[in-house]
Amino acid sequence: MEGYRLFMVIVGCKPPGRFTEQHDVFFGIAGSMQELVPDIVAFWPEAKGALHVDAWRAVTNVDGYPVSVVPAGGITAANRQQGNHLFFLNLGGYREGEFEELHYKMLNVAPEPSAAISAAKKTAFYKHCGFEGAVSHIDDKYGVDVDDIYPVKDIIDPFYKHRFALLIGDEPEAGLAPDPLHIGYFKLDKL
């Protein structure tokens, strides 16, 4: 659908009773980030609207594979049989001497989860954020396990699923510029 894009957003807040800021990932479909604000607030009701955005991107391509939004009924039988899917992975890892679990959130286009996991194992994060006794992992597992990655189409809110579908290119396209990453502290009313 012209003008609509998939957005990946890192949302943060300090929920009541917590000592540190918490984060989660929100995926939404809209024409702009501003249009997503009510959906972002609804996504994390425990925050009581006291949310901010730490990073966001409009997802138009991943590793050169085009990602587009189409009407939910606009996917043809051939598109449904396409080989590629968009996966979200949340890698966790450690650095020796640092009292922290570090995270790396990534998108990957692959035909199946095992291929997305193979790509995750090649990232600098996976290679450099682990040591003997504290290996990098996809969150909640030691070692990489297929249970801990998500097809984006499965974790997006049902509101979007009923209206839209994601169409992923079959092959990378030369010359696609990487999506700009907007990183920093963004108040919802300033998006």
pLDDT digits (tens, 9 = 90+) for 153-184: 999 999 999 999 999 999 999 999 999 999 99
CA angle 182, 159, 30 (to 5 degrees): 35
- Of 84-93, 134-143, 149-158, 176-185, give the lowest mean pLDDT range: 134-143
> Among 88, 31, 30, 23, which residue's Cα sits nearest to residue 52?
23
The pair of structure tokens assigned to 86 is: 């968009």
Taking the C-alpha atoms of 152, 103, 59 and 161 in order, what is their torsion angle to the nearest 10 degrees? 20
Rg of the chain over CA atoms, in angstroms?
Answer: 17
CB atoms within 10 A of CB 141: 13
- The residue ranges of DSSP E strands in the chain, in sequence order, are 5-13, 22-30, 52-59, 61-62, 65-71, 85-93, 102-110, 137-138, 149-151, 164-168, 182-187
Residue 65 CB-half CA count within 13 A: 20
pLDDT above 50 (res 187): yes
The CA distances from residue 137 to 13, 70, 86, 152, in Å, are 25, 34, 20, 20
The per-residue pLDDT of the chain, averaged, comes to 88
Exposure string of 47-62, with b = 16+ CB inside 10 Å and e = fewer, is beeebbbebbbbbbbb
pLDDT above 80 (res 136): no
Mean pLDDT of the region 19-28: 96
Dist CA 41 CA 11 (whole Å): 10
| pLDDT in the model for residue 145 | 38
Parse the chain into domains and list their residue ranges. 1-60+176-190, 62-156
pLDDT above 90 (res 141): no
**CATH code of the region 1-60+176-190:** 3.10.20.10
| pLDDT in the model for residue 77 | 53
Whether the CA torsion 34, 43, 166, 1 is positive or negative: it is: negative
Residue-wise pLDDT for 32-78, tens only, equals 999 999 999 999 999 988 999 999 999 999 999 999 999 987 665 55
